Chains A and B, each alone.
Chain A
């Protein structure tokens, strides 16, 4: 079950001192050398005064000057549990997360069965408690069966532990239903996370509409399929209130819409996947199905817009959109292949590309990966502060590594970063004070 558990429960009261680190707290923009003390799963102190010898009985970990930051919080993870455990379980997803420096995952409700019932929220929480190495929070379906027709029991589901509400990989097409969901969720302070895709416009499209799709003879999905739903939703938020989060935007036009909504003071936020920050439609090349995803990879100009959005803070959150798919889904002609790419283990390294390229400042990047999702989800983590959960990642910003699909911990190997050279990776991942990943145990991976 849990192979790596160097701190069994009886020892957990012992203090752990992480010394000789570069402390980076994206929440307070603190960036200075120092150390950090952990007891009972919490950060109890931090600063330059935490050094060797500060506590006689503390266990000391020398961070070697590397970057100590809050563990990553991934707001969009698709697992196969329940229903498609051959693709991914909560246990395997959590191992992948730990290896990628991710300490909290939010799993999406489009499983089989759909997470639209209190008992199923409870199931996820119990399975996570029993099998997962990292924090797992379920998102529940905002409409029953994700059909977009009837509102789910948002209040009861929230009380059972649903951290937010989503509609899987489909937009709620009916504007009245969407309005009611937003209005009703508002009463519970629940966050609505929406997929943006007008199904009547995307129709039989399988990739970004444009020259590349035309050359490949593939049906395109125009950006307008995304912006139409986003515009509509923002009008509905204006009408009904409610906290609204666009799960993934993918094009420049959507960024402009988000900016306008924020200027209007609406409670609107948005996310972008690591794929849409680092890849574009040209990567599909000769029908490479590992690059087929929803929303589709867009143009290079759109990708640059996504990077600008993260850099300016208009895009709040970076997600992996981790979506494990087996050969049965991917070894097919492009139009018939499954959407989605795994990303938990590569998100940090891929995101650091933006830092190394000078495209996004490091603190801003980490805000989108830690502080911002924590704030949206109402979590106490995502910051380095006394009293915060000791969910941490030690990052070697410069360590080069090559992505080898077979070495990934995810059950499915559908990574678009196959053989990619990344720079920077997690060395240690700590969840509630427990070491859940140590690069030194598996060097080279």
Chain B
């Protein structure tokens, strides 16, 4: 397939550890591949054989439903053997498990490791200890590159392009790897990125990442093309970051009143899983403006695209 071949040339990396370090062309190549994969996924015959004979291991040190199943489906649609390993966080704390696990798995000669870990930088550390390709499926508050890619594909399918769009990322910026990856990707593709959050949930120095900072949803959503909501973890309530879910919803939850400030054709997005009534009004989440379910569909497509792009660089050739 010619597009895949072009993408291989355009994507010279062995791992996908983050959006940082990817060029505009490399990102665009992945988005193009994702569009192809999305078409394939809507057919009856969804299978390709790019990864036939290859072994993909999902190594999740942190619980995940959609990311893990999405990688599993993507791997299977490309013909790989997929194994899921969920490592409880308790066993991680028992000592040298991360590197030990990496070395152990490496000895089983997998071709691709998809890794999620609760510590920033953990996936990169692991990638230094193995011979196979490593995909970051989320490391602490650092990066979640495939989420940013699937968001970009979804946006592009509706808006045609990313450049020049006003994107408001709203909510728990401080703890969000999704926000970091999206800021990097959207800036690389020329969007105007805003972050909207109470000061307690903004990361120090975030403005240096090239975003406009707002602490009011009404101001931050003004004329936005895209409203990207982030999940608010329940434990933020108990650590004096926000006083209550009802106050948070009042000021930062996306309801029709606040959404009215955005452009009439603005897209509503959410990486999931949603807290309805906390960061997003249930009706808004289900509104025709919402592309949240399409994001999930693009999740599989993007992960297929990433796997195809990395296929050229796999070990055991």
Contacts and interface: CB of A to CB of B under 8 A. Distances in A.
Contact of B121 (A214, A222, A287): A287
A334 B209 contact: no
A228 interface: no
A287 B125 contact: yes
Contacts of A215: 20, 180, 209
Interface stretch (B75-83, B135-143, B251-259): B135-143
Interface stretch (B29-37, B51-59, B66-74, B200-208): B200-208
B204 A331 contact: no
Contacts of A335: 119-121, 140
Category for how many chain A residues contact B: 20 to 34
Contacts of B180: 214-215, 217
A213 B120 CA distance: 10
Interface stretch (B3-11, B93-101, B283-291): B93-101
Contact of A214 (B20, B124, B209): B209
A9 to B, nearest CB: 46
A212 B180 CA distance: 13
Contacts of A217: 120-121, 139-143, 177, 180
A211 B120 contact: no
Given A328-B96, A332-B98, A333-B117, A213 B204 contact: yes
Q: How large is the interface on B (under 10, 10 to 19, 20 to 34, 35 or more residues)?
A: 20 to 34
B125 A333 contact: yes
A238 B124 CA distance: 49
A213 B180 CA distance: 12
A286 B124 contact: yes
A299 to B, nearest CB: 10
A216 interface: yes
B24 to A, nearest CB: 19
B302 to A, nearest CB: 21
A170 interface: no
A147 interface: no
B177 to A, nearest CB: 6
Q: For A209, A215, A218, which residue has the most chain B Cβ atoms within 10 angstroms?
A: A215
B56 to A, nearest CB: 23
B121 A286 contact: yes
Interface in A306-358: 328, 331-336
B122 interface: yes
Nearest to A331: B99
Contacts of A222: 204
Nearest to A209: B204
A287 B99 CA distance: 15
A333 B101 CA distance: 13
Contacts of B205: 209-214
Interface string B85-112: 0000000000110110000000000000
A220 interface: yes
A334 B204 contact: no
Contacts of A286: 121, 124
Interface in B139-186: 139-143, 177, 180
A333 B10 CA distance: 31
Nearest to B92: A336
B98 A216 contact: no
A308 B26 CA distance: 46
B130 to A, nearest CB: 14
A333 B136 CA distance: 14
B91 to A, nearest CB: 14
A217 B172 CA distance: 13
A398 B142 CA distance: 43
A364 to B, nearest CB: 34
A44 to B, nearest CB: 55
Contacts of B98: 332-333
Given A214-B180, A332-B99, 9 more contacts: A213-B205, A218-B121, A222-B204, A333-B98, A333-B120, A333-B140, A334-B120, A335-B121, A335-B140
Please name the 4 residue pairs, one residue from A and one from B, whose CB atoms are nearest each other, closest first. Answer: A217-B142, A211-B205, A333-B119, A287-B121
